[in-house]
A and B are shown apart, each in its own frame.
Chain A
Amino acid sequence: MSEMEMEDDGSGIVKKFMFLNRKAPHGTVYALEGLEVVLITAAFDQDVSLVFTDDGVYQLVKGVDTKGIEVKDFSKTYRALEGYDIEKLYVDQASLDARGLTADDLIVDVNVLSVDEMANLMAEQDVVISF
């Protein structure tokens, strides 16, 4: 393939994408829609980091039963992310603490970061998309 074709094609370019989740599940559609976009991005072989701060940490709480409100329980999808090579899941320690939660309350294994670590992670991204 010539150099020109490679430029036109754009394949092989890997950017660092951060998906920043700051909203609780179910009350708005952001959490579910964000998850859909993450799965789409993974199909393009990008470097994806999934971050949960503020009320976003509630998205990962285990023991969910959505039968009573008749909506899809998408919390199990977070466990399937590994199968799409999305393995960088980060949670803000302060957001967990403020809500009386620990990593043991979450449905998936995550990296729990301090504010400074989270800030650095955000600063090194090419693209940050917020939900």
Chain B
Amino acid sequence: MLHIVNKSASERSSLDSCLRMATKGSAVLLIEDAVYAATKGNPAESKIRAAGESLKVYVLGPDLAARGMSGRVLDGVSVVDYGGFVDLVTEHRNCQSWL
């Protein structure tokens, strides 16, 4: 399953809710204000690092760039573009957007 999160982890609980429900081997894609969770030194860094042990974590590059965060991505998180976003959707049987 592909989980998509679009809210800042320091403002909403959607990342926590997602990580609680995501089963081993699932993919988590961070977009919009959720991309901050994938940056070095942010409050959710330890959660993303821990998630990386059992989940595949992706972050949308254009949303990082728009926030000046392209150079701060955590190791172990894969940056994808819009084409990569589409690939993730097609590669997974289903997806859930944690709005």
Interface residues of A (CB under 8 A from B): 23-28, 54-55, 58, 61-69, 71, 73, 75, 98-101, 105
- Residue tally, chain B, CB below 8 Å to A: 26
Inter-chain contact B68/A24, CB cutoff 8 Å: no
CB distance from A40 to the nearest CB of B (A): 25
Q: Which residue of A lies closest to B63 (CB)?
A: A69
Inter-chain contact B8/A27, CB cutoff 8 Å: yes
Q: Can you list 10 A-B pairs, Cβ within 8 angstroms, ordered by A?
A: A24-B8, A64-B65, A64-B68, A68-B62, A69-B62, A69-B65, A69-B66, A71-B66, A75-B68, A100-B45
Bound-state Cα–Cα, A63 to B10, Å: 22
Inter-chain contact A61/B68, CB cutoff 8 Å: yes
Inter-chain contact B41/A65, CB cutoff 8 Å: no
